[in-house]
Amino acid sequence: MFKRISIHDAKKFLDQGDAQFVDIRDEMSYQQGHIPTAAPLNQGNLQQWMTAADLDKPVLVCCYHGNSSQPAAQFLFEKGFEQVYSIDGGFEAWRGVYETQNSNDI
């Protein structure tokens, strides 16, 4: 089962560099801002991402408000990822507290 995680605890994972972040929002929203290191994840690249991802490394899933990320996190858990988290409040909560990164800066 996936777990829910606060943006503050998610930031700790980010700072430690010990997790895989994915963003399931639409491409335009992702390009306007996202959590640093977060990979855009959608139906078009899901299989490719899953093939390259580390099953043993935590996965943190971000959406707009923390709702859509929950079924996505459960899906990844069921596909064999051991530690999967849905970020409570999603990107909107993250953006309200932490700086964002435009895809042009990557």
Please give the positions annotated as active site. 63
Closest to 72 measured CA to CA, from 33, 39, 34, 94: 39
What tokens appear for 83 in the block?
Answer: 């530690």
Q: How far does CA 63 lie from the centroid of its chain? A: 7
Q: What is the DSSP string of 25-77?
A: S-HHHHHH-B-TTPEE--TTTHHHHHHHS-TTS-EEEE-SSSSTHHHHHHHHH
